[in-house]
Amino acid sequence: MTGKTAPAPPSAAARRFASLRGELDNPLFRNAYALMINGGLTGVLGLGFWAVATRLYPQDVIGRNTAEINAIMFIGGLTILNYMLLRFIPQSGRSTASLVLRTYAVGSVAAVVLGTGFLFTLDWWGPNYAHLDGPVPGLLFLVFIAAWNVFTQQDGVFTGLRRAGWVPVKNTAYGAAKFALLAGTLVIMPADGIVLATMIPVLIAIIPGDLLIFKRLIPEHVRRTDGMHRTPTGREIRRYLAGDYVGTMFSHAAFNFIPVVVAVRVSDTANASFAMAWILGLMLELFALNMAMSLTVEGAFDTTRLAETCRAALRRTVMLAVPATLVLVLIAPYVLQIFGPAYADQGGPVLQLLALATLPKALIELYIGVLRVQSRTHVVALLQAVRFLGVLILILLFLDSDHLAAVGWSVLAVQSAVALAVLPALLRAARIPSSADDAGRGMS
């Protein structure tokens, strides 16, 4: 009698594929990896865009255009409510479409009001913004601000719907469109071609993005989550926003107002060097934000597994952030050589220091993700305020046009200090069963 042949053990390739498939079946990693892919693709396209721009435009025009783009992104993003969308879309059910529309309206209108205030105070902001004086440049500036606000909030909607895979699709198409327009806008408006190439695709991309969100993804989300959660009340959302918006405002200012301050204090050529280093540094920092955003979404979908989700996010963050940081520290000067020797000489040390700050920033962002799930937004606001104000104060004290590295040292010092302060609480959150926490807060 012949016995059955034992099945052959799976090959190493099959085991790796099964492991990858298991990771992608986990919404925490699926969303996070989609956002990381978005950051990678956007980074590559952005690097290429600026490499071409620095060949087509003189350095002073680069500095002036990046200053205006930073102002648009700062003001347009100051009133985005993405973290509120991440926290409440998972639980909003049939109210999801209404929540998104109200968020768009509040964010974009408030951004235009702030942008108008900026235009009335141009004398305060130095020569890099003087060309915005006049009705046509001012009106375009306000249109771009409103468009950037909605464009950015779409990423929060996709992620909150657990469909973050659409974020790299949208932003890759946007990055490619920027490339396509760069040479044409140079011919049409050589003094402002970079701004136009950056913002015209935003105006176009909003329409298909929202058609996808409202016609397909939100109806699917409503069917999938029907009856799973109690819809948050307006009072709960307002209470959450009271702390979260303050924290988001400080976080956004750390990304986008710091470059505005630098542009005011240094020459246009020095600002061009700084801007390239800052843009590349933010690409690595987005890794930390992406994992934290995915943690917030998954924690909101199932609050009883918050500690488990936090442990998984913490392990994966350390595993990926440490080697990525070391690689960028080593290659930073060579990467900036793409833009030219002047960019590498002035911007190289800044980029290396920003890379070193990524790991402590990642730990802080994960803890903030936990706090958002727990609706402890007053602590979020405090942490974000300390980080932004700490960096701002150090820059105002030590920055001059000959020492751009002061920005990098300021960011590294503040992020490291805050990370050491929150690390014990983050480790406790990863150990303590979250169900007890949620029961105590009545938020599940």
User: How many residues are given for the chain?
Assistant: 444
Residue 423's pLDDT band (boundaries 50, 70, 90)?
very high
**Contact criterion met (CB below 8 Å) for 116 and 43:** no
| pLDDT at residue 206, as a whole number | 94
Alpha-carbon gap, residue 151 to 160, rounded angstroms: 15
Amino acid letter, 36 = M
Q: Evaluate if residue 6 carries a pLDDT over 70.
A: no
| pLDDT at residue 19, as a whole number | 52
| pLDDT at residue 110, as a whole number | 93
The count of structural domains within the chain is: 1
Residue 104: how many other CB atoms lie within 10 Å: 20
| pLDDT at residue 141, as a whole number | 93
> pLDDT tens digits for 107-126?
999 999 999 999 999 888 87
Out of 1-10, 143-152, 378-387, which region has the weakest mean confidence (pLDDT)? Answer: 1-10
Alpha-carbon gap, residue 319 to 418, rounded angstroms: 21
Domain assignment present for residue 208? The answer is yes
Domain assignment present for residue 337? The answer is yes
| pLDDT at residue 341, as a whole number | 82
Q: What is the arithmetic mean of pLDDT over 140-156?
A: 93
Q: What is the arithmetic mean of pLDDT over 417-439?
A: 75
Q: Which domain holds residue 98?
A: 26-441
| pLDDT at residue 439, as a whole number | 39
| pLDDT at residue 414, as a whole number | 96
**Contact criterion met (CB below 8 Å) for 377 and 244:** yes
Residue 436's pLDDT band (boundaries 50, 70, 90)?
very low
Alpha-carbon gap, residue 333 to 237, rounded angstroms: 45
Alpha-carbon gap, residue 178 to 195, rounded angstroms: 10
Q: What is the arithmetic mean of pLDDT over 379-384?
A: 89
> pLDDT tens digits for 210-255?
999 999 999 988 888 776 666 666 677 777 776 677 777 787 788 7
Question: Which residue, among 416, 426, 286, has the nearest Cα to 370 in the 3D structure?
Answer: 426
Q: Which two tokens stand for residue 153?
A: 């909030």
Percent of the chain with pLDDT over 90: 21
Alpha-carbon gap, residue 309 to 113, rounded angstroms: 39
Q: Evaluate if residue 46 carries a pLDDT over 80.
A: no
DSSP state for residue 57 in the 8-state scheme = S
**Structure-model confidence comparison of residues 318 and 349, the more confident one:** 349
> Torsion-angle region of residue 442: left (phi > 0), alpha (psi -120 to 50) or beta?
left
Domain assignment present for residue 14? The answer is no
Q: What is the arithmetic mean of pLDDT over 356-364?
A: 89
Residue 331's pLDDT band (boundaries 50, 70, 90)?
confident
Alpha-carbon gap, residue 444 to 260, rounded angstroms: 41
Q: Evaluate if residue 432 carries a pLDDT over 50.
A: yes
Q: Which two tokens stand for residue 31?
A: 């969303």
Q: Mark out the alpha helices in 134-192 (DSSP H runs).
A: 135-160, 166-188
Q: Which residue reads 């909101």 in tokens? A: 300
Domain assignment present for residue 212? The answer is yes
> pLDDT tens digits for 249-305?
787 788 778 888 888 888 778 888 888 888 888 777 766 666 666 666 666 666 677
3-class state of residue 298 by DSSP: helix
| pLDDT at residue 91, as a whole number | 74
Question: Which residue, among 293, 312, 313, 428, has the nearest Cα to 373 in the 3D structure?
Answer: 293
Alpha-carbon gap, residue 391 to 414, rounded angstroms: 6
DSSP state for residue 125 in the 8-state scheme = S
| pLDDT at residue 20, as a whole number | 46
Domain assignment present for residue 4? The answer is no
Residue 366's pLDDT band (boundaries 50, 70, 90)?
confident
Domain assignment present for residue 2? The answer is no
Output the pTM of the full model: 0.64
Residue 330: how many other CB atoms lie within 10 Å: 11
Q: Evaluate if residue 55 carries a pLDDT over 50.
A: yes
Residue 111 CB contacts under 8 Å (≥ 6 apart), including other chains:
75, 76, 77, 78, 79, 145, 146, 148, 149
Q: Evaluate if residue 23 carries a pLDDT over 70.
A: no
Q: Evaluate if residue 12 carries a pLDDT over 80.
A: no
**Contact criterion met (CB below 8 Å) for 198 and 81:** no
Alpha-carbon gap, residue 373 to 227, rounded angstroms: 20
Q: Where are the beta strands (DSSP E) in 291-377?
A: none
Q: Mark out the alpha helices in 26-95 (DSSP H runs).
A: 27-56, 59-78, 82-92
Alpha-carbon gap, residue 162 to 321, rounded angstroms: 23
Side-chain-side CA neighbours of 237 within 13 Å: the count stands at: 22
Alpha-carbon gap, residue 406 to 92, rounded angstroms: 44
Give whole-number Cα distances, 36 to 48, 291, 358, 383, in Å: 18, 8, 14, 24
